[in-house]
Amino acid sequence: MTTPSSQPQRPDIAQDLIQRAHAAHENWRGARATATPPQGRAPTALDTALLADRANTQLLERIISAHGWPGHSLVGDEAARAALTLALHAEHDPRAQDSFLRTVREAAQRHEATPGQWARLYDRCLARDGKPQAYGTQHRQQPDGQLELYPVQDPDQLDARRAQVGLLPYAEQLQLLCERLSGKSSSLPAGDDLDVLVLAGTRT
């Protein structure tokens, strides 16, 4: 894992990942705020967001093919979180997203990713497939802006499972997530339990 005094091996890849994650954040913010017009109209904000996600998925596959998961040593902590953001946005390609999940798990075993990062992607894959999530990291944003937690396995044991992978108690996560969505925080999340976007359930 990198330290404040260490430098990532590939700062060029790191910068690209960070820029793409921030762009994805803005793309989906615009997509949520814009109604989809009837067919035959000009491309929408949703189209833009989905096209960017497809390109980002392909890029992440190329990086993994060449270097393995872009973890702490290769790209630094912020860019490693950005890489996870791109993986979280890959629901359009379940095969690729499932492959990312396996790769992140292996990276966590080498301390190049965190168990919490793996848990977020695991939850996203479960939610994508219509299954209850394990760690309570995935939400649906309602039209009125309120958050709805996706169904969770054995809710009484949720915080115990979260603690096992280094995640905050759920109530603390929800508060942080609400602050992000309210605009009080605009940077990529510093922790492992705060999605840049709340996407699950918003795509068609």
User: Structural domain boundaries of the chain?
Assistant: 11-32+44-181
Single out the residue of 92, 65, 70, 72 nearest to residue 16, CA to CA: 70
How far out from the chain centre does Cα 40 lie?
A: 31
CB atoms within 10 A of CB 76: 25
Cβ atoms 67, 74 nearer than 8 A: yes
* 3-class secondary structure, 160: helix
**Single pTM value for the model:** 0.83
What distance in Å separates the CA atoms of residue 63 and residue 76, rounded to the nearest whole number? 15
Q: What is the mean pLDDT of residues 171-188?
A: 73
Cβ atoms 69, 79 nearer than 8 A: no
What distance in Å separates the CA atoms of residue 45 and residue 118, rounded to the nearest whole number? 29
- Predicted confidence (pLDDT) at residue 52 exceeds the cutoff of 70: yes
Q: What is the pLDDT of residues 72-86, one digit of tens each?
A: 999 999 999 999 999
What distance in Å separates the CA atoms of residue 171 and residue 136, rounded to the nearest whole number? 10
Indicate if the alpha-carbon torsion angle 89, 188, 45, 69 is positive or negative. Answer: negative
pLDDT score of 46: 82
Q: What is the pLDDT of residues 96-139, one digit of tens each?
A: 999 999 999 999 999 999 999 999 999 999 999 999 999 999 98
pLDDT score of 193: 46
Question: pLDDT confidence of 185, banded at 50, 70, 90?
Answer: low
In degrees, to the nearest 5, what angle opens at C-alpha 79 toward C-alphas 24 and 175?
Answer: 65
